[in-house]
Amino acid sequence: MVSAVQKAQPAVVSVHVTTRVRQLQRYRSRDPFWDVFSPFYYAADRDQSSTGSGFIVNTEGYILTNDHVIGGDIPNKRLITVSLPEPDGRTLEARYISSDIGSDLAILKVEAKDLPVAPLGDSDDILVGEWAIAIGNPFDLGPTVSIGVVSALNRDPPQPQGDYYYRDMIQTDAAINPGNSGGPLVNADGEVIGINSFIYTGGDYSIGSIGIGFAISINTARDFLDEIQEHGQVRRPWTGIIALKRITQRLADYLALESTEGALVVKIAVDSPADRAGLESGDVIVAINDGKMRSANDTAGVLKGLRVDDECTLSVLRYGETLELRMRLEEWPRYRQGW
């Protein structure tokens, strides 16, 4: 385990994000009596800080982390710095490159020489029960290591976590806490097999790790990195499916469906990939690429996880018959709607 940590930890960085936010402040006067009844507020800017983790993936200075670590949708308004662990100890300003919001991944870049690089493994070649090491910056304490095992593979959380749809996750009991997000989950050889992303606590997340943590597989991240290297950003995929609806028992009875699994297609865009594939409003998507769809959220998550030029097979129910439709995703045109 020591050699694995020594191999991976030099490339693990602590990420610090400073955001300028505007908030309403109550006007304070020198008269305490007036303060009690004062209805006046004014807008003021202040700095808001957050921390997380990431790791360097190549000598060009690209750093992989979670999108939620950098805060998502207004990266250009942020100051992002990364700190390398000792004995290097450098603190570098990082530039935001791009995000994949659907899978909660982001890329930063630093300009520096002699950067350590984390070796990437193969998440398709891991087994339940093998050692797993989480490295990161929990609670901004600095470089921290925790050890456990791979508890399960291919976990699909039933609900999205905020704006993020997680699929095919690696579950581990290695302690993951706030601040670990974006850091690597490595195997006993020191190779990165996942990106630590969130934990389950059974409550309102007011407590720390209880041994149920989830990491995005490194093979999912490889697709993201390939997209960045080839196109300089993540191209937003488009299917043309504008709305999906959850199938309730009442709706299943009305449509004569055998179960409430799958997603009802409510609306699709004309001349879209879905339209050209033959998908129609009223169809029920029950599987994508032979993967069974449990709900509308599940279906939306799979569709948002696909990339431009990907082809997928939709299994749909239409008037009691099962149809197989082939759909090829396109880059999202800004003037259109839908996924």
* Active site positions, annotated: 68, 104, 181
User: Which residue carries 């799958």 as its tokens?
Assistant: 262
Burial class (CB in 10 A: 0-12, 13-18, 19+), 306: buried
- What are 56's strand-pairing partners? 63
| Burial 43-61, CB ≥16 within 10 A → b, else e | eeeeeeebbbbbbbbeeeb
Q: CB neighbours of 111 closer than 8 A, spacing ≥ 6?
A: 61, 92
DSSP one-letter code for 217: E
Handedness of CA 123, 222, 220, 79 (dihedral sign): positive
Torsion of CA 91, 92, 96, 102, to 10 degrees: -30
Strand partners, 237: 331
- SS3 assignment, position 67: helix
Tokens at 171, concatenated? 């579950």
The dihedral through the CA atoms of 114, 89, 17, 20 has a sign that is negative
